[in-house]
Amino acid sequence: MSTDTRTSAGSGADAGTASLSIAEAADRLGLSTHALRYYETEGLLVGAPARTPAGRRRYDEQDLRWIVLVQRLRATGMPVREVREYARLCREGAGNEQQRLALLRAHRERVLAQLAEVSGHLGAVTAKIELYEGTVGTVGDR
Amino acid sequence: MSTDTRTSAGSGADAGTASLSIAEAADRLGLSTHALRYYETEGLLVGAPARTPAGRRRYDEQDLRWIVLVQRLRATGMPVREVREYARLCREGAGNEQQRLALLRAHRERVLAQLAEVSGHLGAVTAKIELYEGTVGTVGDR
DNA sequence: GGTTGACTTCGAGCGCGCTCGAAGTCGGAG
DNA sequence: CTCCGACTTCGAGCGCGCTCGAAGTCAACC
């Protein structure tokens, strides 16, 4: 309630480039405003969002897209420290594409390995479930 | 070096039932002795391991099998508190098989959902990688 | 001009799952 | 008998990733 009207006011407020307040951005990304500021101070963003003359953050599409990537990396288990490293590489501009690539590839390998491991364990749990389904009358399991 | 000889000494030390010291069990399970005791005090074990007259823990095959299950549950992301709950149900004996089943099924559903989510995010990361591979243009490639 | 309330910074606190260290006990080898 | 080292319990500490609250500022609306 009340986060209404004046949505993308600020400066331009016209076609194309939206520019959201932190609350709007948080809402759209499914994060808290606290988390968004945390990401920023922790150096997870490739570039800090713009500020209004009064010092308030404005998130544009580019900011949002980057944060979505950060969320994906985080959601796949990349530690904050490594996201920071990746962000740093991107911030430094061209010339380190190989490093970025290596970082992402290493991450992908880890995630694949973990997916396989979890799947394996899940298989065992499923077997256990089926055992119960078949045995829901027999006591001696454990 | 020195966790040698006297491996499964203790009492019997014969065929079939081994009965390991905490260090041996930890070693075999890939856990620390600290973690093993922690699991026990936190109620994650369905039954406490036996003790020697001197009060030292002896892990038998049943203990080990249970702990392997605990590890699988943990490795698939089940919170300690929920493992404790499951252990409690098993400890209470017969009559609650449906509850155990429900717990395991719910866990499986969560894990499947998370596997799907992670896979999705990983797909996006892979796309990013391929983008770099294309951009970097035939550099190392292989 | 006053009120409102979303914003700002800062630092403390928290939930999780162990991990670590201290201090003491005890069984077995020499 | 003595020593060694693996065991015991206990409680504190830690790394991670936020989360939360306090205190203050400032733009906009009435």
CA distance A12 to chain B (A): 31
Residues 47-66 of B with CB under 8 A from A: 62, 66
Specify the pLDDT at position A4: 35
What is the pLDDT averaged over residues B8-33? 73
> Nearest Cβ partner of A125 from B104, B133, B136?
B104
Specify the pLDDT at position B134: 83
Q: Is A105 helix (H, G, I), strand (E, B) or coil?
A: helix
The identity of residue B139, as a single letter, is V
Q: B138 pLDDT exceeds 60?
A: no
Q: How confident is the model at residue B10 (pLDDT cuts 50, 70, 90)?
A: very low
Mean model confidence pLDDT for chain A:
86
Same domain, B67 and B115: no
The predicted-structure confidence for A2-45, as pLDDT tens digits, reads as follows 333 344 443 333 445 678 999 999 999 999 999 999 999 999 99
C-alpha–C-alpha distance, residues A71 and A59, integer Å: 16
Specify the pLDDT at position B133: 86
Same domain, A12 and A63: yes
- State CA B32 to chain mean position distance: 12
What is the pLDDT averaged over residues A85-93? 95
Q: How confident is the model at residue B60 (pLDDT cuts 50, 70, 90)?
A: very high
Same domain, A89 and A40: yes
Question: In this structure, how many other beta carbons lie within 10 angstroms of the beta carbon of residue A80?
Answer: 15
Same domain, B79 and B116: no
Question: How large a percentage of chain A has pLDDT more than 90?
Answer: 74
CATH of residue A53's domain is 1.10.1660.10
Q: How confident is the model at residue B15 (pLDDT cuts 50, 70, 90)?
A: very low
The predicted-structure confidence for B77-95, as pLDDT tens digits, reads as follows 999 999 999 999 999 988 9
What is the residue range of A52's domain?
Answer: 7-93
DSSP letters of A55-97?
Answer: S-EEB-HHHHHHHHHHHHHHHTT--HHHHHHHHHHHHT-TT-H
Q: How many domains are contained in chain A?
A: 2
**Which residues make up the interface with nucleic strand C when CB must lie under 7 A?**
A 2-3, 21-24, 33-34, 37, 51, 55-57; B 6, 9, 31-32, 34-35, 38, 52-55, 74, 79-81
Same domain, B3 and B60: yes
Same domain, A12 and A57: yes
Q: B46 pLDDT exceeds 50?
A: yes
B74 versus B15: the higher-pLDDT residue is B74
- Our measurement of CA A62 to C1' D26, in angstroms, reads 27
Q: Is residue A137 part of a domain?
A: yes
What pTM did the predictor assign?
0.84
Q: Report CA torsion sign: B56, B60, B66, B68.
A: positive
Q: Is residue A2 part of a domain?
A: no
What is the pLDDT averaged over residues B13-29? 78
Residues 74-93 of A with CB under 8 A from B: 75-77
Q: Backbone dihedral region of A18: left (phi > 0), alpha (psi from -120 to 50 degrees) or beta?
A: alpha
Same domain, A87 and A141: no
- State CA A35 to chain mean position distance: 11
Specify the pLDDT at position B137: 56
What is the pLDDT averaged over residues A40-56? 94
The overall longest dimension of chain A from CA atoms, in Å, is 72
C-alpha–C-alpha distance, residues A91 and A85, integer Å: 10
Per DSSP, what are the bridge partners of residue A58? A50
Same domain, A82 and A121: no
For Cα atoms A102, A107, A109, give the angle at the middle one, nearest 5 degrees. 95
Q: Is residue A85 part of a domain?
A: yes
Specify the pLDDT at position A93: 87
For A43-47, A57-61, B17-21, B123-127, which range has the lowest pLDDT when averaged over its residues? B17-21
Same domain, A76 and A114: no
Q: How confident is the model at residue A133 (pLDDT cuts 50, 70, 90)?
A: confident
Q: How confident is the model at residue B17 (pLDDT cuts 50, 70, 90)?
A: low
DSSP letters of B65-90?
Answer: HHHHHHHHHHHTT--HHHHHHHHHHH
Taking alpha carbons only, the member of A19, A23, A28 closest to residue A51 is: A19
Same domain, B83 and B29: yes
Q: Is residue A38 part of a domain?
A: yes
Question: Radius of gyration (Cα) for chain B, nearest Å?
Answer: 22
Question: In this structure, how many other beta carbons lie within 10 angstroms of the beta carbon of residue A29?
Answer: 19
- State CA A74 to chain mean position distance: 5
Same domain, A136 and A75: no
Question: Which backbone phi and psi does A125 adopt, to 5 degrees?
Answer: -65, -40
Same domain, A89 and A115: no
